[in-house]
Structure 1
Amino acid sequence: MLAMVLIGGLLGFLIGGPVGLLIGGGLGYWLVRRVRRSMLGRLAAVQKQFLESTFAVMGCMCKADGQVTEAELEASRQLWDRLRLGEEQRAKAREDFTRGKRDDFDLDAELAKLKPIIGSQPALRQVFLQVQLAAIAADGELHSAEHEMLMRVVRGLGCSEAEIAQVEAMLRGAAEGGGAASHEVSLEDAYQVLGVSSDASDAEIKRQYRRLMSENHPDKLAAKGLPDNMREVAKERTSEIGNAYDRIRKARSADAA
């Protein structure tokens, strides 16, 4: 902001002297405030759509096998608790969840609204998918219909084949660990989570780990549209990345011993 005020003031001074200095500085200040309000408005709109689509798709995912189990309903309530949603936000989340459960819910249309927001942001997509994985793994069973719908969501968001492999690994982890991010993944899935080949060098794996940790940092995701409520989910994602990296390091250390 200060830079724009100084630039505006300098240009004003060159054109109109001391009076121009004041006018130019004021215009610079006004312009910065206007741009900032516009950016904040867009960010708020992105966050609102992210939350609405998250809970609507979550409802649709839970209904994929024909019914929403009590375990899945409890998982949704626990998520709202973890996100520390206020009463108004919780009511809106229930409304969107119910909307997603309806037979006439248009999943493709919902994904079309979400894709422009997170389509070019792999880290945001992963947070969104993390929620969906937790929802369908809540009852301890992964039905073929749920898997099929998850793949439909993944492709609808424009995920690459590498990302699809990561989601498959996350899905297996959610099934085996009850949705927890702290369980130890298999070595094969650890490579998939990091998006690297088992033939990759230690240096390559370390670089990829650091890149993913940077991209998935909650502060960076917040600047791209992740709602503040979703920070805990983002932290789970970084935990999953860290667990995968540790699993690979342990395996390679054991092989080298």
Structure 2
Amino acid sequence: MSVFSRLIDAIGETASNAFSSVVEAVRTVFAGDPETRRRVAFSVAVIALSAKMAKADGIVSPAEVAAFQEIFAVPPEEAANVARLYNLAKQDVAGFDVYAERIKGMCGSGNANCAMLEDILDGLFHIAKADGLIHHKELEFIAHVADIFEVDEAHFDRILARHVHPDGVDPFAVLGLTPDTPFTEVRKRYRQLAAESHPDRFAARGVPDEFMLLANERMAMLNAAYGEIEKSRAAA
């Protein structure tokens, strides 16, 4: 039986109007398999929060649906189960803060700026910007989720710089630095972030293989930012 089938069987009819029971079911159904539990928890988090974000925005564009499918490659046999979970979260009367609080508890470290929670925020940004414009309600939604996730302002600004840049990408903002930062510090920060963002680190955090697109996107942004700074300093 597939993991989502096991999850659907576990919640039965009890989750007809309360997605929170799904989050609790993830803990119990896969209690003996921590690796699978991490992967399912991450998938459930993205399903739940993207559904709530769509409801907050009021419009689900075809591009956003395609972006969801792009990072969530659902096997045909799982399509009905994933659709049920998505619709359940969207229809639940509970506010998204309820889900965000429960999802925060899934973070293994329990610390602020949890890496797995940053991965989830990247997934939400990927979906929100798919139609070429992040609606202000979507941005407010993601920022509020980040607050609940205990992502501090400086860290969120760095995440934001990877996804929202109407005046062009600021390579220093992507690395969380200022333009007057010595190049030795730029190199040090880049190497630190690159190590943290390596696809192997994503896998270790329980991010499913289909979400590796997020790791590749983040690495591409970091590489481009560092390359631009390195080039500008060499030309100075």
RMSD (CA atoms): 2.4
Name the CA distance, whole Å, in 2 between partners of 1:138 and 1:105. 26
Name the CA distance, whole Å, in 2 between partners of 1:79 and 1:220. 17
Match of 1:237 among 210, 214, 218: 218
Q: TM-score, normalising length from structure 1?
A: 0.70
Tell me, yes or no, if the aligned pair for 2:162 and 2:218 is still in contact at 8 Å. no
Name the CA distance, whole Å, in 1 between partners of 2:160 and 2:213. 22
Partner of 2:42: 50
Q: TM-score, normalising length from structure 2?
A: 0.76
Q: Deviation at 1:191?
A: 1.3
Match of 1:98 among 78, 81, 87: 87
Q: Deviation at 1:228?
A: 2.7
Match of 2:33 among 36, 41, 44: 41
Name the CA distance, whole Å, in 2 between partners of 1:117 and 1:58. 17
Greater helix proportion: 1
Q: Map 1:145-156; keep pairs closer than 5 Å.
A: 145-156=137-148
Partner of 1:132: 124
Pairing 1:171–2:163 present? yes
Tell me, yes or no, if the aligned pair for 1:56 and 1:101 is still in contact at 8 Å. yes
Letter in 1 for 2:82: A
Letter in 2 for 1:77: Q
Partner of 1:17: none
Name the CA distance, whole Å, in 2 between partners of 1:238 and 1:96. 30
- Segments of 5+ residues of structure 1 without an aligned counterpart are 1-37, 177-184
Pairing 1:194–2:186 present? no
Number of positions where the alignment pairs a residue of Structure 1 with one of Structure 2: 204
Tell me, yes or no, if the aligned pair for 1:127 and 1:233 is still in contact at 8 Å. yes
Name the CA distance, whole Å, in 1 between partners of 2:77 and 2:122. 24
Partner of 2:232: 251
CA deviation vs aligned residue, 1:94-140 (integer Å, no higher than 9, x gap): 23332333261431121122213335364323321121111111222
Partner of 2:184: 203
- Segments of 5+ residues of structure 2 without an aligned counterpart are 1-29
Structure with the bigger RCO (C-alpha within 8 Å, sep 6+) is 2
Change (3 A) 1:122 1:251: farther
